[in-house]
Structure 1
């Protein structure tokens, strides 16, 4: 049983990215599903779908690569806030990742969103991870 499902998801994506796997299987949680939605909207993954096997739900993520050399679209993925040390940011100090070339995923009172969308709405929250 994994206690930190967000770190588990990000590690599975990072490992699959390094060895250039096409598909990653992740245990389904509402948080991992919302993270997959954001990653797809921002163009970091190709697609994802959920399926059930033996009364357990999973998410299948289709990874995205560029060119004939299959260069990964995700060059770095970093967990920021951890269960032992939560990192929060208010609306005025939201992170700016590589001049908005990357994103930070923020858990706000209005759900998960990118740092760019949170800045537009003028809200802060817990900084979950950085992706670029």
Structure 2
């Protein structure tokens, strides 16, 4: 049983990218689907699709590389963890690597990137950072 499904998603993607896999499969959930939509919109992954294997839903993530060997996702960090939640106001939204990376926030209007959250003037829970 996984106690932190977001951290599991990030680690699976990062491990698959390090091993130069084309795709990686992760157990499906609505939150993971929304995180993957943001990663796809920001250009970190090619896409994802939902599939059912032995009655269990999973998401197959298509990883993206620069050239032949350099993965688009070079690092991830889980900020808000089950044991320690991290909330920020609209002034405290963190920048990741001076704008090269992206923070994903859970706001009252749904999941947003750090830039979208700043434009909307919303704070929330900082879920993770990807660069």
Instruction: Report the TM-score, using the length of structure 2 for normalisation.
Output: 0.97
How is 1:68-87 mapped onto 2 (pairs within 5 angstroms)? 68=68, 70-87=69-86
Q: Which string of whole-angstrom CA distances, capped at 9 and with x for unpartnered residues, describes residues 45-84 of structure 1?
A: 011000112221000000000113x201111111111000
| Equivalent position of 1:58 in the other structure | 58
Give the Cα separation in 1 of the matches to 2:114 and 2:13: 21
Give the Cα separation in 2 of the matches to 1:19 and 1:56: 25
| Equivalent position of 2:95 in the other structure | 96
List 4+ stretches of structure 1 deviating above 2 A.
Answer: none
Give the Cα separation in 2 of the matches to 1:101 and 1:15: 21
Question: What value does the CA root-mean-square deviation take over the aligned residues?
Answer: 0.8
How is 1:1-132 mapped onto 2 (pairs within 5 angstroms)? 1-68=1-68, 70-132=69-131
Give the Cα separation in 2 of the matches to 1:52 and 1:6: 20
Give the Cα separation in 2 of the matches to 1:14 and 1:98: 18
Give the Cα separation in 2 of the matches to 1:6 and 1:126: 13
Aligned length: 131
Give the Cα separation in 2 of the matches to 1:71 and 1:99: 21
- Which residues of structure 1 form unaligned runs of 5+? none
- Which residues of structure 2 form unaligned runs of 5+? none
Instruction: Report the TM-score, using the length of structure 1 for normalisation.
Output: 0.96
